[in-house]
Structure 1
Amino acid sequence: MKIYKFGGASIRDAVNIRNVGRVLQTVGYADCLIVASAMGKTTNALEVVVARYFSAPASLDQAVQEVKDYHFQIAYDLFPQSKAGLFSEMHALFEKLNHFLSANKSPNYNFVYDQIVGYGELLSTLILHHYLESCGIDNRWTDSRLLVKTDTTYRDAQVDWELTQSQIRSEIRSQVLHITQGFIGSDPNGFCTTLGREGSDYSAAIFAFALNAESVTIWKDVPGVLNADPRYFPETTLLEHLSYQEAIELAFYGASVIHPKTLQPLQQKEIPLYVKSFINPLLPGTEVSKGMALSPQIPCFIVKKNQLLISLSSLDFSFIMEGHISEIFKCFHQHHIKVHVIQNSAISFSVCVEDPFQQFEVLRSILSKQFKVSYNEGVSLYTIRHFEEQSAERILQDKTLLLKQVNRETIQMVIKE
């Protein structure tokens, strides 16, 4: 089978959903499984629902209504002559969402988040399923929560690979075009879990691994994997070929085109990954596969914004030893702080980190009992793979360098812009 993954940009409105139909008719869809994300910025909108559930319940209904209006408008645009089956199924999903909001007793933010945010993928795949049916593309809507089984680490669930493979292999048939959801699974009690933001790519890899797929194709609004993010760099170059190792390095450092967890299961079974344009689906795009050299061999730029640079030093000017570092990293792990750069000297320890769950203030109060804590908020981390001195110098123009780290292939710079 082939796995096709369509992200939020590719299905953000009726025009783009129609384009998915054209892409499938152009490249073929025999023996395929489609993994789809939530539409457009739906995940962000559902995060607003979560926030209001906890802090502004008076405006909760309005936040839900905005999500509902957005999806129903897309459905109306696709089906001007009302399609009763689709609309009744969409109403049923919103009834389930509202029932959870009114009946839930759990104060666990991460649990509530996963029960709410997953509706984005359920709605998008439902609309896509009905639209493709109307185009004569027979398909089966499949609930990935029944197939991708995880633990109870809400918002960053860990996959139960043995059970997930068993479920997928028992339900997915190669002769049928299946449409399922990225990003979501379920825990042993049947509650929805999510695989981390941008986790739909990872979902595609999970299905590919379980099905021994021929390939995975991620359909994007760019021609493939570029050597830099066009939002930050005016000139970019398409990378035609990447090895798994190179792609994993880029993903590890934060390249946004491929999710960090996506590549490991594909590499294990040597399943090639293609990143292609849903605007021009016949273009070759980028191929990631075994043993492929980086082509062309040029510097690759990765930017991570809104980072924290934290510097810790001992209160009594004693050395920071392995035991201290172990305690520090235990705190980072417990508070879901993601570490991207580490630099230490005899009496200080600096890290550039990401704080996705806004836990830094809690962490700082804990660390301050043992260390002097200083920090810079809102810094940017620039990583250049296969760097040249000139490329690093260009980035530093009119910026303040706070930390720099260099090895043979890679330079990382924490910068205040």
Structure 2
Amino acid sequence: MAKTFVFKFGGASVKDAESIKNLYEIVFNRLRNNTIIVVSAMGKTTNALEEILALKLAGKSYSTNSTKIMEFHLKICEELFDLGSLIFPTVKNYFSQLDRILEGDLTQGNYDSFYDSVVSFGELVSSRIVQEYLCAKGLFCIWQDAREVIRTNSDFRFAKVDWEATVKLCEKIVTPKLAQFPVVTQGFIGADEKGRTTTLGREGSDFTASILAHGMRASAVTIWKDVDGVLNADPKRFPDAVKFDELDYKEAAELTYYGASVIHPKTIKPLANLSIPLYVKSFIHPDRSGTKIHHVHPVNTVPCIVVKDEQILVSFKVTDFTFINESHIHSVYTELEKLKLRVNLLQISAISISIVIEKELFKLEKLIQNQRNQFEIRYNENLQLITVKNHNPSLMDELMQNKEVLLEQTTRTTFQVLVKNSHI
């Protein structure tokens, strides 16, 4: 079997016409027949589609918003294609399909399913534009609907991959196409066994690249970002952040778990299981070395800092003078799982359970409502969670200086502190 390579381009790398021209230059210098190109929605399109959903849910008009998104894509096409190109009716047809879906009665169905069917249009349109542009420039490639290849369960918005079915579909559908031309497909989306559109969680395009690499037994995955590689901290917050030339899979996986935004948390495992290296490179400086994630010994000992804003601390205190036991923890976690709320920090005392979660007020209200019978519940908003992997005392002191600490947790290798929002 010929070696397969997977390239993934995120929203920032396809945000406008100049970005897509830059994508072409990157691909032109590196393209092999057996290459899969995974494309995210353009710029902030997913956010814009979520705004339309919010208007729909509130019973307000969304037609102006929908028209703006279509015009945004058509304007990019005007800068890339001759006006007689078939891409223009293709894009308009996608938005006609979107309008038909939006006209549906949301009260009669599953909101999460409706969400997936709407936000998927960002990736569908962007990947079609990229594929058409590459072909127009002489780099002939095939457009592939990811929903035909990535099979998932029906857990809409956070779909779980059916790995066995997906591997078979990769072999059946993608392998023959790659023997002829490179393939362009979408990140973030898949389909359940009934053919209904599902999504893999926000920012899930990295995960798509990993899924396809696993399914194709690829030689390598390259994720093209707006940074030079994986850094030990966000350079916008910490100007002296340093880049790693290489990282072990385990270290990279832990950083994504704690919230490092360079790679989607689920990306590492499918690659590590098959020892497929992951390269994180800059689409701004594509010739720089980037970061290689693979099996590395010894592991990294440089401190890594991850800061998460808009965190909420929720405390569940027992009201009947008993102590916290397994049934209390199980009750809270069962509800968290139902609401698809991820816990970023957990602390248990004799009479209370404290958790740190992302800001999702609608879900928070449901959580409180469903647990208030057995707990007294309080919460604090607008907090910041700082995690330091491979911490040291001086760095911890520096990060906590002049901050009001609400929660603190330290292990041998990891230090986490929850503080009232600061300017880090």
| Same fold, TM-score > 0.5, yes or no | yes
1:366 is the counterpart of 2:370: yes
Using the TM superposition, give the Cα deviation of residue 357 of structure 1 relative to its aligned residue in structure 2, in angstroms. 7.4
Whether 1:396 aligns to 2:400 is yes
Q: Which moved more, 1:35-44 or 1:319-328?
A: 319-328
Amino acid paired to 1:213: A
Which residue type is aligned with residue 87 of structure 1? F
Equivalent residue of 1:125, what SS? helix
**Amino acid corresponding to residue 165 of structure 1 in structure 2:** V
Give the C-alpha shift of residue 359 in structure 1: 0.5
**Counterpart for residue 412 of structure 2:** 408
The TM-score with structure 1 as length reference comes to 0.96
Aligned letter for 2:156?
A: Y
1:314·1:371 contact (CA, 8 Å) conserved in 2? Answer: yes
Q: Give the whole-Å Cα distance in 2 for the aligned partners of 1:22 and 1:259.
A: 25
Q: Deviations over 1:119-173 (max 9, x none)?
A: 0000100110111111110100110011111111110011111111111111113
Q: Contact 1:241 / 1:293 at 8 angstroms: preserved in 2?
A: no
Write the distance in 1 (CA, Å) between the matches of 2:51 and 2:62.
9
Q: Which residue of 1 aligns with 2:162?
A: 160
1:187 aligns with 2:178: no
Residue pairs, 1:28-177, within 5 angstroms: 28-57=31-60, 59-79=61-81, 81-104=82-105, 106-172=108-174, 173-175=177-179, 176-177=181-182
The answer to whether the 8 Å contact 1:244/1:290 transfers is: yes
Matched residues in 2 for 1:337 and 1:113: separation? 17
What is the one-letter code of the residue matched to 1:69?
Answer: E
- Inter-partner Cα distance in structure 2 for 1:95 and 1:353: 37
- CA offsets per residue over residues 229-279 of structure 1, 9 Å max, x none? 123222210011111111111111111011111111101111000000111
For 1:77 and 1:278, how far apart are their aligned partners in 2? 20
How far does the alpha carbon of each residue in 1:374-403 deviate from its partner, in whole angstroms, 9 at most, with x for none?
211111111000011121122212221111
1:356 Cα offset (Å): 4.5
State the AA in 1 paired with 2:11. G
**Residue number in structure 2 paired with 1:303:** 307
Matched, 1:246 2:246: no
1:307-322 equivalence runs, <5 A: 307-322=311-326
Q: Distance in 2 between matches of 1:27 and 1:133?
A: 16
- Does structure 2 conserve the Cα–Cα contact (< 8 Å) formed by 1:309 and 1:350? yes
Give the CA RMSD over aligned residues: 1.4
Unpaired runs of 5+ residues, structure 2, are: none
Deviation string 1:265-308 (CA, Å, 9 cap, x unpaired) is: 1011110000001111111100000234445x311000111111
Aligned to 1:266, which of 271, 292, 298? Answer: 271
Which of these residues, 347, 350, 353, is aligned with residue 349 of structure 1?
Answer: 353
The partner residue of 2:239 within 234, 237, 241 is 234
Q: Do 1:337 and 1:355's aligned partners in 2 also have CA atoms closer than 8 Å?
A: no
Among 207, 210, 215, the residue aligned to 1:210? 215
Q: 1:10 to 1:357 in 2, by over 3 A?
A: farther
Following TM superposition, by how much is the alpha carbon of 1:108 offset from its aligned partner in structure 2, in angstroms? 2.0
Q: 1:406 to 1:83 in 2, by over 3 A?
A: farther
Partner SS, residue 90 of structure 2? helix
Residues 248 and 137 (structure 1), Cα distance of their counterparts in 2 relative to 1, 3 Å cut: same
Aligned AA (2:97): K
Counterpart of 1:51 in 2: which secondary structure? helix
Report the Cα distance in structure 1 between the residues aligned to 2:369 and 2:93, rounded to whole angstroms.
Answer: 45
Question: What is the alpha-carbon distance in structure 2 between the residues aligned to residue 330 and residue 83 of structure 1?
Answer: 55
Change (3 A) 1:144 1:331: same
Contact 1:27–1:282 (8 Å) recurs in 2: no
CA displacement at 1:32 relative to structure 2: 0.6
Look up the SS of the partner of 2:158 in the other structure: coil
The residue aligned with 1:331 is 335
1:199 aligns with 2:204: yes
| Distance in 2 between residues matched to 1:102 and 1:15, nearest whole Å | 34
Give the partner amino acid of 1:277: S
Q: Quick check: 1:4 aligned with 2:7? A: yes
1:225 aligns with 2:230: yes
SS at match of 1:27: coil
In structure 1, C-alpha distance between the alignment counterparts of 2:202 and 2:152, rounded to whole Å: 16
1:160, 1:93 → 2: CA distance?
28
Give the C-alpha shift of residue 30 in structure 1: 3.5
Residue 406 of structure 1, CA deviation: 0.5
**Cα distance in 2, alignment partners of residues 356 and 274 from structure 1:** 33
Among the aligned pairs, what percent are the same residue?
40
In the superposition, the TM-score normalised over structure 2's length comes to 0.95
SS at match of 1:84: coil
